[in-house]
Amino acid sequence: MHSSVISDAHPAPLTFDVIIAGCGPTGALLAAELRLHGVRVLVLEKDTEPASFVRIVGLHIRSLEQLAMRGLLDRLLEHGRRRPAAGFFAAIDKPVPEGLDSAHAFLLGIQQPVIVRLLEEHAISLGAQVRRDSAVAGIEQDADGVTVELSGGERLRARYLVGCDGARSTVRKLLGVGFPGEPARTETLMGEMRVGAPQEEIVAKVAEISATTRQFWLRPFGEGAYQVVVPAAGVSPDRTEPPTLEDFRQQLRAVAGTDFGVHSPRWLSRFGDATRLAEHYRVGRVLLAGDAAHIHPPIGGQGLNLGLQDAFNLGWKLAAQVRGWAPDALLDTYEAERRPVAADVLDNTRAQLTLQSTEPGPRAVRRLLTELMDLNEVNRRLIGKIAAIDLRYDLGSGPDLGSGPDLVGRRLRDLDVQEGRLYELLRGGRGLLLDRTGRLTVGGWSDRVDHVADPAVALDAPCLLLRPDGYVAWVGDDQRELDAHLSRWFGAPAS
């Protein structure tokens, strides 16, 4: 079966609206977003059990904000640890910049299996179905839907398929979508464990080795644990097998002459510096999201966040398509908006990797950037880039955008409103008109867009229209302009 061919073969009965391949964070969150709109969703996961390795990941500011919009953040906060929103870019140690402008201006360190479990439970509570031990083996699309063949021969049918199945995505390969970029040149071990050596010895040795090896550090990680990073050269090349504590000891002795008495690991992993971006995020009725669409080194901790934000962007648009009210071009805006964001992330990870080099040129640039980051504006810009709070979608230009174009395409921070907090009003995944004039109406779009009239809300604009993912679609006070933008994003009004 090959998805790029429109088939006249007899398809399986249409059972689901959307099938999602992969129940990682991106797939689970996308399933939940679709269920907010009553879309029939099946999530297929090839593994029989959830991943057992305990890897700590970081949720950045924009991900925290969007999870807060759906009422999920408090549950995650119970299981994570807050850390300052600083020191992300190329691991250059600088304080938290002023002006982050968010109620969630911190990094949340949390175990990845916990995120997956909570998001999967959330999706199931909303009515999504999850099937494990179900690997996609073939896909075939036609004018009405997609037939998915599982490795056991079973055939399933849906209107759309989304590949959230990781860097080695089967869906992407079956689609024949190119994945150009740079292959991995170096491999690195990363883990979290306890260390037996005195702190003074660790600090001195790290300072000595860091002068010539950027792929090496031991950093305190709280509760007596250290994050350990060391080159993987010499370790088994089979990346399907996780590294062992003995691998870390061996590599630490090879690089530092001592293993620092490491013991009691919390999690162990390995990663390469491959950097790739899918040529397309959509082919007909099949779409890609998360690592299936983009991969890059973990420096800056952006990967998981990038996938979650893909899901937030795609969920309401795909639901609109399924429910029949999407404007003609709405689903195409997913790739148009998210692929440039991924390209920018790939570029900033390339830059950060260059700044980790021990060659004289990159070291000189690193010293210069370290000095420039003493300027709050520079530090703020780099942290804002990684935390995705400075992202601006290109929604076009011209007077039709309204009177406040600087806001259009940008996120809106959480605000106090008469009903409570702004983000609480977005929990249903609907659009929102925030109206300080009290003169506007959402009219025939009230089944898709909520209206809050609040003259006291702290806005530098008379009114604005928010998309379900929390980005500003229009600013102004003219009803005709508003109606045009309601049609642009939310389709024709109900009769």
What is the SS3 assignment for the chain?
CCCCCECCCCCCCCCEEEEEECCCHHHHHHHHHHHCCCCCEEEEECCCCCCCCCCEEEECHHHHHHHHHCCCHHHHHCCCEEEECCCCHHHCCCCCCCCCCCCCCEEEEEEHHHHHHHHHHHHHHCCCEEEECCCEEEEEECCCCEEEEECCCCEEEEEEEEECCCCCCHHHHHHCCCCCEECCCCEEEEEEEECCCCHHHHHHHHHHHHCCCCCCEEEECCCCEEEEEEECCCCCCCCCCCCCHHHHHHHHHHHHCCCCCCEEEEEEEEEECCEEECCCCEECCEEECHHHCEECCCCCCCHHHHHHHHHHHHHHHHHHHHHCCCCCCCCHHHHHHHHHHHHHHHHHHHHHHHHHCCCHHHHHHHHHHHHHCCCHHHHHHHHHHHHCCCCECCCCCCHHHECCCCCCCEECCCCEECCEEHHHHHCCCCEEEEECCCCCCCHHHCCCEEEEECCCCCCCCCEEEECCCCEEEEECCCHHHHHHHHHHHHCCCCC
Whether the pLDDT of residue 41 is over 90: the answer is yes
**Do 322 and 491 touch, CB atoms closer than 8 A?**
no
Choose between 403 and 289: higher pLDDT.
289
| Residue 405: band (very low, low, confident or very high) from pLDDT cuts 50, 70, 90 | low
Average pLDDT over residues 289-294: 98
More confident position, 359 or 223: 359
**Averaged pLDDT score across all residues of the chain:** 91
- Which region among 14-18, 280-284, 425-429, 438-442 has the lowest average model confidence (pLDDT)? 14-18
Q: What's the pTM value of the predicted model, to 2 decimals? A: 0.90
Torsion of CA 312, 317, 322, 325, to 10 degrees: 140
- The two beta strands, 225-231 and 187-194, are antiparallel
Q: Which residue has the higher pLDDT, 436 or 211?
A: 436
> CA-based Rg of the chain, rounded to a whole angstrom?
24
| Cβ pair 288, 312 in contact under 8 A | no
Digit-coded pLDDT (tens) for 228-252 = 999 988 777 666 678 999 999 999 9
pLDDT of residue 111: 87
pLDDT average, residue stretch 293-302 = 92
β-partners of residue 420 are 417
pLDDT(163) > 80:
yes
pLDDT value, residue 53:
61
Alpha-carbon distance of 457 to 435, in angstroms, equals: 9
Average pLDDT on 201-217 reads: 85
**pLDDT confidence bin for 7, thresholds 50/70/90:** very low
Q: Chain-centre distance of CA 86, in angstroms?
A: 19
Are residues 294 and 195 in contact, defined by beta-carbon separation less than 8 angstroms?
Answer: no
Asked if 82 and 64 count as a contact pair (C-beta separation under 8 A), the reply is no
Residue 403 pLDDT grade (very low, low, confident, very high; cuts 50, 70, 90): very low
**pLDDT value at position 358?**
80
| Spatial separation of the C-alpha atoms in residues 219 and 226, rounded to whole Å | 5
In the prediction, which pLDDT does 223 show?
Answer: 72
Lowest-confidence segment of 129-133, 164-168, 268-272, 307-311 by average pLDDT:
268-272
pLDDT score, position 234: 76
Arithmetic mean of pLDDT, 431-445: 97
Q: Write down the pLDDT at residue 402.
A: 43
Structure token digits, residue 144? 């009405």
Average pLDDT over residues 475-493: 96
CA dihedral 409, 410, 411, 415 (to 10 degrees): -110
Of 83-97, 334-348, 358-372, the range with the highest mean pLDDT is 334-348
Closest-CA residue to 252 (of 224, 232, 227): 232
Q: What is the pLDDT of residues 117-159, one digit of tens each?
A: 999 999 999 999 999 999 999 999 999 999 999 999 999 999 9
pLDDT of residue 11: 60
Answer yes or no: are the C-beta atoms of 391 and 62 closer than 8 Å.
Answer: yes
> Residue 215 above 80 pLDDT?
no
